[in-house]
Structure 1
């Protein structure tokens, strides 16, 4: 059992998802498209607030940046990185979110050492995203990027440290809602490696494993002022008060796999090699059936 070394960390900013929030959209890159952290968050909310009709929509797109940058030979030259600027207006008009969670940064420095011009493009992209979401009438919560394992490259790990610190600073300079995942994940990685030098949160240094996604979910929930005392003892105890926990998690996963591809296909994007989702109307019908099955497990 893995203990969470960052559980007692003081979270300096908390805010609630108000009763007027119904539709919650997650934007990001392949880490968000993986989406396990979103599944854990949804599983928490549907078990703890069964009478509230939250809808969690994952429209993360692998390889995407908010900076608009791409390596010259990205994907062995097969395609440039998709740019959020190309699709954001469609995301907002089609999903009509009440709240947007945005997690960018991992790809935005394009895996090169720190450069002021690349950093400026990231900042400009984040400012643009913030303005566009607010203009649409939605709230926005920015999430710092997960860590890049320095064993895969100290220079790029430092880039994400800097990008994360800048995002955190927006809490104080602009009163933004910002959730920090970066530093708690780094603290957890460093603490666990004191016990086991082979410990990893991401095998490739980028994409978190299930435990990494669990850390992400818990930090987001804590920042949303949710109290997860049992989670401090590891994933084994997450939602352990529900005898059908594993079945609930499996159904939530099934729903997210179905819906993320349906939404991405319906919205449209320029990223090749993606799964073509079901027509949205058909996917929504299947989602309703899954939701009914989940409700039976909770009631």
Structure 2
């Protein structure tokens, strides 16, 4: 058993949620008590690596909990309902979260919802007050809908960083700076829970570029690769347990020789099956996505992978 596995074995079950965090609503619903955790977002969430890394943390930190983590990110989606002219070469307009939200919450009944929007909501144009207003109205409407659906805990995530191929961080990212800062301000103004990934990713990118001028977190400027998803998870995990050895843990998840890498890969496999099954079952307006398996078959596949996870966990005991 390698050294990092021994360290985490000693720490299993001792995660203390929220230590050192300023939760606006006092003591929130403990995430370890959740039965279903839902992730909403666009293509970055749909890609799913940061969701699988976060689920790896949940299983490691709260091994006695039985939490179902469901990724329902949808590529191209917005909360604003906006879509630029000629989106997807005119094949379809951007899907709008509110066209599926009621069905999603009714069928899944999540205890906790994470929502990461903003990247698509400025529709890749210079800052527009009217576009910004639509984003704000969408986020407020999302919070209102989730509260009405009796979601116990709502956690917003700021949009990730955007790097324009020509203007770098001085292009569309300036719009996202405004969107991210507004969302962070809602911690104080509306008592929302908000986790910032935007400015930490921006700082990381700027620092890396000092040493490697051609470095990119996202080859297309939008969709981060695995390193970017690791950074997202690195921002989210300490919000729930700032005593957890997050950086070492995530490094272990991405080390092919580690127990945690095997756990992460199994969870990534399961997320892919469950994600497409739930997206098909709950319905959406985004063409071009895989048709998911029927939900009952997806659940059987999920249990098959869960059995592998349990066998893997026994190797630590």
TM-score, scaled relative to structure 2: 0.86
Match of 2:158 among 122, 137, 144: 144
Match of 2:272 among 227, 241, 257: 257
Q: Does 1:236 align with 2:256?
A: no
Separation in structure 2 between the aligned mates of residue 39 and residue 270 of structure 1, nearest angstrom? 25
Q: Quickly say closer, same or farther: Cα 1:12–1:249, change in 2 above 3 A.
A: closer
1:66-145 matched pairs, under 5 angstroms: 66-138=79-151, 139-145=153-159
TM-fit CA distance, 1:234: 8.6
Separation in structure 2 between the aligned mates of residue 267 and residue 152 of structure 1, nearest angstrom? 39
Q: Does 1:291 align with 2:306?
A: yes
SS at match of 2:223: coil
Separation in structure 1 between the aligned mates of residue 158 and residue 206 of structure 2, nearest angstrom? 18
Separation in structure 1 between the aligned mates of residue 217 and residue 249 of structure 2, nearest angstrom? 14
TM-fit CA distance, 1:155: 2.8
Separation in structure 2 between the aligned mates of residue 266 and residue 181 of structure 1, nearest angstrom? 30
Separation in structure 2 between the aligned mates of residue 132 and residue 107 of structure 1, nearest angstrom? 21
1:114-263 matched pairs, under 5 angstroms: 114-138=127-151, 139-153=153-167, 154-229=170-245, 231=247, 235-238=250-253, 243-263=258-278
SS at match of 2:218: coil
Separation in structure 2 between the aligned mates of residue 229 and residue 287 of structure 1, nearest angstrom? 28
TM-fit CA distance, 1:151: 4.2
Separation in structure 2 between the aligned mates of residue 297 and residue 239 of structure 1, nearest angstrom? 16
Q: Quickly say closer, same or farther: Cα 1:195–1:234, change in 2 above 3 A.
A: farther
CA RMSD of aligned residues (A): 1.9
The 8 Å contact of residues 104 and 145 in structure 1, kept in 2 or not, is answered as yes
SS at match of 2:33: coil
Provide the residue aligned with 1:278 in structure 2. 293
Q: Quickly say closer, same or farther: Cα 1:50–1:67, change in 2 above 3 A.
A: same
Provide the residue aligned with 2:10 in structure 1. none
TM-fit CA distance, 1:13: 3.5
Provide the residue aligned with 1:6 in structure 2. none
Deviates more, 1:153-162 or 1:176-185: 153-162
The 8 Å contact of residues 252 and 261 in structure 2, kept in 1 or not, is answered as no
Q: Quickly say closer, same or farther: Cα 1:271–1:253, change in 2 above 3 A.
A: same
Deviates more, 1:109-118 or 1:18-27: 18-27
The CA deviation string for residues 38-66 of structure 1, in whole angstroms up to 9 with x for no partner, is 00000111122211101100000000000
Which segments of 5 or more consecutive residues in structure 2 lack a partner in the other structure? 1-19
The 8 Å contact of residues 238 and 246 in structure 2, kept in 1 or not, is answered as no
Separation in structure 2 between the aligned mates of residue 173 and residue 226 of structure 1, nearest angstrom? 25
Q: Quickly say closer, same or farther: Cα 1:237–1:285, change in 2 above 3 A.
A: closer
Q: May I ask how many residue pairs the two structures share in their alignment?
A: 287
Which segments of 5 or more consecutive residues in structure 1 lack a partner in the other structure? 1-10
The 8 Å contact of residues 104 and 282 in structure 2, kept in 1 or not, is answered as yes
TM-fit CA distance, 1:197: 1.1
Q: Quickly say closer, same or farther: Cα 1:239–1:270, change in 2 above 3 A.
A: closer
TM-fit CA distance, 1:225: 2.5
Separation in structure 1 between the aligned mates of residue 71 and residue 114 of structure 2, nearest angstrom? 10
TM-score, scaled relative to structure 1: 0.91
